[in-house]
A and B are shown apart, each in its own frame.
Chain A
Amino acid sequence: MPVCSENYESEIAEGRNCRSVKCKFCGSVILSPSTATFASFEFQLPLIRQNKSNETEPETETVSFFWSVSDMYTFQNVGFSHTVGNNKYLACADCEAGPIGYHDLTNKTSFVALSRVQHS
Chain B
Amino acid sequence: MAKKTYDLLFKLLLIGDSGVGKTCILFRFSDDAFTTTFISTIGIDFKIKTVELRGKKIKLQIWDTAGQERFHTITTSYYRGAMGIMLVYDITNEKSFENIVKWLRNIDEHANEDVEKMILGNKCDMSDKRTVSKERGETIAREHGIRFMETSAKANINIDKAFNDLAEAILDKTAGREPGDHVDRVLVDRKQQSNTSRSCCNN
Contacts and interface: CB of A to CB of B under 8 A. Distances in A.
Contact of B43 (A75, A82, A97): A82
A83 B38 CA distance: 13
B41 A99 contact: no
A95 interface: yes
A51 B34 contact: yes
Given A52-B35, A55-B195, A91-B39, 18 more contacts: A46-B38, A49-B35, A49-B38, A50-B41, A52-B36, A70-B1, A73-B6, A73-B9, A76-B50, A79-B46, A80-B45, A83-B189, A91-B44, A92-B29, A96-B39, A97-B39, A99-B38, A105-B187
A72 interface: yes
A40 B36 CA distance: 29
A25 interface: yes
Contacts of B35: 49-52
A73 B3 CA distance: 11
Interface magnitude class on chain A: 35 or more
B47 A93 contact: yes
A50 B37 contact: yes
Given A72-B48, A73-B5, A96-B44, A79 B38 contact: no
A74 interface: yes
A49 B37 contact: yes
A23 to B, nearest CB: 9
Nearest to B159: A94
A78 interface: yes
24 contacts: A25-B29, A32-B5, A46-B38, A48-B39, A49-B37, A51-B34, A55-B195, A70-B1, A72-B48, A73-B48, A75-B48, A77-B49, A79-B46, A80-B46, A80-B47, A81-B39, A82-B43, A82-B44, A82-B45, A89-B38, A91-B39, A93-B47, A97-B39, A105-B187
Interface string A56-98: 1010000000000011111111111111100011011111111
Contacts, number: 120
Contact of A74 (B2, B26, B42): B2
Contact of B38 (A76, A98, A105): A98
A83 B59 contact: no
Contacts of B39: 48, 79, 81, 89, 91, 96-99
Contacts of A12: none
Among A55, A81, A84, find the residue whose CB has the most chain B CB atoms closer than 10 A.
A81
A82 to B, nearest CB: 4
A82 B193 contact: yes
B29 A72 contact: no
Contacts of A91: 39, 44
Among A72, A75, A77, A79, find the residue whose CB has the most chain B CB atoms closer than 10 A.
A79
B192 interface: yes
Contacts of B34: 51-52
